[in-house]
Amino acid sequence: MGKAKMKKLREVSGFSFVYENKNFLAPALNDFEGNVIDWKGAWAEKAFKNKQAITMELACGKGDYTIALAERFPERNFIGVDIKGDRLWRGALTVQSKGLSNVIFVRTKIEQLDLFFAPHEIDEIWITFPDPFPKKPDTKRRLSAPSFLSLYKKLIKENGLIHFKTDALDLFDYTEGSMKEAGFELLTVQRDIYGNHLEDEITSIKTYYELMHLADERTINYLKAIVK
Ligand SMILES: C[S@@+](CC[C@H](N)C(=O)[O-])C[C@H]1O[C@@H](n2cnc3c(N)ncnc32)[C@H](O)[C@@H]1O
């Protein structure tokens, strides 16, 4: 690992609004002082000191969507989740420089989130530009594979919304199918949102990966569903 990356990994642990699961074999969440925290069912009160609804972005990378949404919706709490500390470091710097008090980041494997959050603690989920895993044997690793959808059902409140954005059409079609199969109610299914002028103020927020895909002239697709 390069020195610059090591430095980011060290620094990200020092932000008071970043919580890290440092050992996936013995999962636990640590705060910036190294204390193990167990806030299952109490994240709004403990982390945000309020009772506001929680929007969680999964695989948030540098947290672009989380931050843009948090700026637009100060009356909600936002939790960005990713496994990569160097990406979260970038997001954490932005949150700090903007002085946002309604954003935290959790560095963990998404697969272990139910160890840290109570059933139905989350009000809304966003997934933006997850890895497409195009090869057949890898499809179970997609963040819209059945095992992940079961996890989201556990985490999100009844009738909570899930939003999904991707450039990968194969993944988009797969996700439309897997969500239907799981019993989610699809409210919006939009292919090529910009080409078809379907975007709005929220769906036109662009992440680091989206900007790269747009530069490659790829189309962007969006769907929204009620988790049932
Ligand atoms: C292609 S990037 C997209 C990042 C961001 N959403 C964006 O649009 O810029 C995919 C992200 O998913 C994260 N990721 C993939 N699998 C994960 C998992 N099982 N748990 C947590 N993060 C995961 C990666 O670390 C990476 O940051």
Cβ-count burial 186-207 (b if 16+ within 10 Å, e if not): eeebbbebeeeebbeeebebbb
Q: Single out the catalytic residue among 64, 131, 138, 216.
A: 131
Average pLDDT of span 9-29: 96
- Tell me the pLDDT band of 78, cut-offs 50, 70 and 90: very high
Q: Which domain covers residue 154, as residue numbers?
A: 3-226
Query: Does residue 196 register a pLDDT over 90?
Result: yes
Q: What is the pLDDT of residues 79-129, one digit of tens each?
A: 999 999 999 999 999 999 999 999 999 999 999 999 999 999 999 999 999
Average pLDDT estimate for 189-201? 98
Q: Evaluate if residue 3 carries a pLDDT over 90.
A: yes
Q: What is the mean pLDDT of the chain?
A: 97
At 140-173, the pLDDT tens digits run 999 999 999 999 999 999 999 999 999 999 999 9
Residue 1 has what pLDDT?
A: 84
- Which of the listed residues 19, 56, 79, 83 should we mutate to test ligand 1's pocket, taking the one with most ligand atoms within 8 A of CB? 83
Q: Which two tokens stand for residue 209?
A: 């990966």
Q: What is the pLDDT of residue 77?
A: 98
Q: pLDDT at position 131, please?
A: 97
Return phi, psi of residue 167, to 5°: -90, -20
Q: How many domains does the chain have?
A: 1
Q: What is the CATH number of the domain that holds 173?
A: 3.40.50.150
Distance CA 155, CA 158 (A): 9
**Interval between CA 127 and ligand 1 midpoint (Å):** 9
Closest to 89 in 3D by CA, of 7, 190, 206, 201: 7
pLDDT at 107: 98
Rounded distance, CA 158 to CA 167, Å? 28
Please name every residue paired with 49 in a beta bridge, in sequence order, or none if there are none. Answer: none
Q: Rounded CA gap, 23 and 4, in Å?
A: 22
Residues 6+ apart with CB under 8 A from 113: 81, 106, 151, 155
